[in-house]
Amino acid sequence: MTRTIDIPTFQAAVVRNCSPTLAGIKPASLFTYPGVYADQDGSSVTAAIEDRRARLLNVIARCNHELNPFGIHLSVLVWRPCGALVYAYRPNSLATYLADPRAKTALAKKGYDTGNLSACLVHLASRITLASNNAAECACGQTRCALDQQVCCNNDCACEFPHEIGYFLGYPCDDVYEFIAQRGENYKIFGAWKVYTNVEQALATFDAYRACTQHLTFIYQQGCSLAHLAQATR
């Protein structure tokens, strides 16, 4: 299913999936905007897909015009047959979070240039693409990817999804580390992420995310723009 590509529909998706980031209580959020934005078998992009991508990028550019003054940016990381992977983030907040030595050490081991946020996001998009068995395309085509552009996967590839993405979503560093180390098993509770360490704090954060999403959804439905939502929560 291809979701309608227009400002109201896309903005509603942003509010539904990214309210904690709009409100400034989470450095970044990620969601899939449904639609066919890449060919399933990795063949050349059709004119219809190119048009779909261009229309979505135009909508995102208009949203960024509203949100950038409040320190929020939207971008497509990866084009996929099932949808565009859209990343909403606060560059300053995200850079501060990724400066944590625990995140820096873990990401450096995966080839990230932790001193360059833009390069980190390109590398993340490349790793997501590589783990998709060629049924996806990195949306950072105008930027030099940290992975060899000639690298590709076949159906027997053992490439794993880059679970370090948890760092790029602002999840607690210790929980991201344990998730990777324990391969997603043996967690204590499950909510916005799988919790291995501070359960009480995680539960409070889950509640805050839910309350924030409900509140921003309500006032958005009353006619507030994205800019007003971001401004109202400053």
pLDDT along the chain (234 residues), means of 10: 90 97 97 93 84 97 96 96 96 96 96 94 93 80 45 49 96 97 96 97 98 96 92 66
Is 200 a domain residue? yes
Is residue 233, in this structure, part of any structural domain at all? no
| Exposure on the CB side of residue 153, measured as CA atoms within 13 A | 22
The answer to whether residue 12 sits within a structural domain is: yes
The two structure tokens encoding residue 70 = 């409040």
Range of the domain at 169: 7-226
pLDDT at 187: 97
Model pTM score? 0.90
1 inside domain: no
